């Protein structure tokens, strides 16, 4: 370890995602999902992680990482549903259309359909939080000329829609339970970074908030997009929406670099950058019970590297 590294508190590069009755963890060389099955047992499935050649390319790696997280996360979510539900529950959830698709498309076709579903989900988020605020601001501007305040109004609408969406989904019973697993997913990181054994007692005491959370990343994307898009001339609402779509990969790449920097360092600047995302996690995480913490510990242990601090962020 270099002298510069020794000055910084150890921070792990391991990240995860809450699933249905489980958690996915992504380590330096291994991906694991840990899910509690109907019998109450924790089932763990692992697979090796392929090194991406663009992982060292600034900006570009953020875009690739986001797309990959959508695809991998969606597959893991579907797999967790299969493990956590009984056959009767799965059959009840499965429609005639689902069975028809399985019979006619086969495994490869269903995989392609899952990719398309993840893509459409991302596209819907872009429309809701990026494009819709632009058109709403355009409508307001026609009724009440906003002038230089258009970018401000657009930014307020964008953040307002995002926070309202998170609040509404957090009120759903099934989503709230997943948010408890989200809290459980974060807790082992602080325990591991402090060098403490990953026991239920130790993990329970740890914070459910984490600066590199996906919630923080999405909020940072919105904030940086407000700053970047404020520089785009508002010649027409449709033209502005098109330019925003073209610049979105740049915004995502910049956001990734900022959250990576903030997650690696601890100083007044990085704490200020992380603060809004940590606050918003009060909506997207909840305190887990011990059984959820057990699942989180199992998922982290499955991806911990054999050699010391190979998971240093």
Question: How many angstroms separate the CA atoms of 61 and 66, rounded?
Answer: 8
Alpha helices in the chain (DSSP H): 3-7, 60-84, 87-93, 96-126, 132-143, 150-170, 173-193, 200-205, 214-229, 237-264, 268-284, 290-301
The answer to whether the CB of 69 falls within 8 A of the CB of 16 is no
State the pLDDT at residue 1: 39
State the pLDDT at residue 2: 39
Give me 67's structure tokens: 């797309």
State the pLDDT at residue 113: 56
- Burial track 205-230 (b if 16+ CB lie within 10 A, e otherwise): ebebbbbbbbbbbbbbbbbbbbeebe
Q: Whose CA is closest to 207, among 193, 190, 195?
A: 190
Question: How many angstroms separate the CA atoms of 49 and 51, rounded?
Answer: 6
In the DSSP assignment, the letter for residue 312 is B
State the pLDDT at residue 310: 76
Q: Whose CA is closest to 218, among 167, 163, 265?
A: 163
State the pLDDT at residue 3: 36
State the pLDDT at residue 6: 42
Cα 251 vs. chain centroid, distance in angstroms?
Answer: 16
State the pLDDT at residue 265: 82
Give per-residue pLDDT as tens, 203-246: 999 999 998 898 999 999 999 999 998 888 877 888 888 888 88
Secondary structure (3-state) at 276: helix
Q: Per residue of the chain (313 residues), give pLDDT as tens.
A: 333 344 467 888 899 999 999 999 999 899 999 999 999 999 999 999 888 788 788 889 988 888 888 889 988 998 999 999 877 766 666 545 455 445 545 556 555 655 666 667 767 777 788 889 999 999 999 999 988 889 899 999 999 999 999 999 999 998 999 999 999 999 999 999 999 999 999 999 999 999 889 899 999 999 999 999 888 887 788 888 888 888 989 999 999 999 989 888 888 999 999 999 999 999 999 999 999 999 999 999 999 987 766 787 7
Look over the chain and give the mean of its residue pLDDT values, rounded to a whole number. Answer: 86
Element holding 48 (H helix, E strand): strand 42-48
State the pLDDT at residue 68: 87
- Burial track 123-138 (b if 16+ CB lie within 10 A, e otherwise): eeeeeebbbebbbbbb
State the pLDDT at residue 91: 61
Classify the C-alpha dihedral 55-121-264-175 as positive or negative: negative
């Amino acid at each position: 370890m270099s002298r510069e590294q020794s000055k910084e508190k150890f921070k792990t590069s391991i990240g995860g995602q809450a699933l249905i009755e489980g958690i996915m963890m992504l380590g330096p060389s291994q991906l694991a999902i840990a899910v509690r099955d109907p019998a109450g047992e924790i089932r763990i499935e692992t697979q090796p992680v392929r090194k991406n050649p663009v992982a060292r390319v600034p900006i570009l790696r953020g875009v690739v990482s986001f797309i990959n997280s959508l695809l991998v996360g969606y597959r893991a979510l579907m797999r967790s549903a299969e493990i956590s539900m009984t056959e009767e529950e799965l059959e009840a959830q499965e429609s005639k259309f689902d069975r028809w698709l399985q019979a006619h498309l086969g495994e490869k076709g269903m995989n392609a359909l899952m990719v398309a579903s993840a893509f459409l989900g991302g596209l819907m988020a872009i429309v809701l939080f990026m494009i819709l605020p632009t058109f709403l601001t355009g409508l307001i501007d026609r009724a009440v000329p906003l002038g230089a305040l258009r970018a401000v109004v657009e930014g307020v609408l964008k953040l307002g829609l995002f926070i309202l969406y998170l609040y509404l989904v957090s009120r759903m019973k099934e989503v709230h339970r997943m948010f408890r697993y989200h809290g459980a997913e974060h807790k082992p990181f602080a325990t591991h970074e402090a060098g403490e054994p990953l026991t239920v007692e130790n993990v329970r005491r740890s914070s459910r908030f984490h600066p590199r959370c996906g919630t923080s990343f999405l909020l940072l994307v919105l904030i940086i997009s407000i700053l970047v898009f404020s520089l785009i001339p508002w010649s027409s609402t449709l033209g502005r929406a098109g330019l925003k779509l073209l610049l979105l990969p740049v915004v995502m790449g910049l956001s990734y670099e900022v959250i990576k920097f903030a997650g690696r360092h601890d100083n007044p600047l990085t704490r200020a950058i992380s603060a809004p995302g940590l606050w918003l996690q009060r909506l997207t995480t909840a305190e887990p019970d011990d059984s959820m913490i057990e699942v989180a510990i199992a998922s982290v242990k499955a991806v911990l590297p054999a050699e010391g601090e190979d998971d240093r962020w």
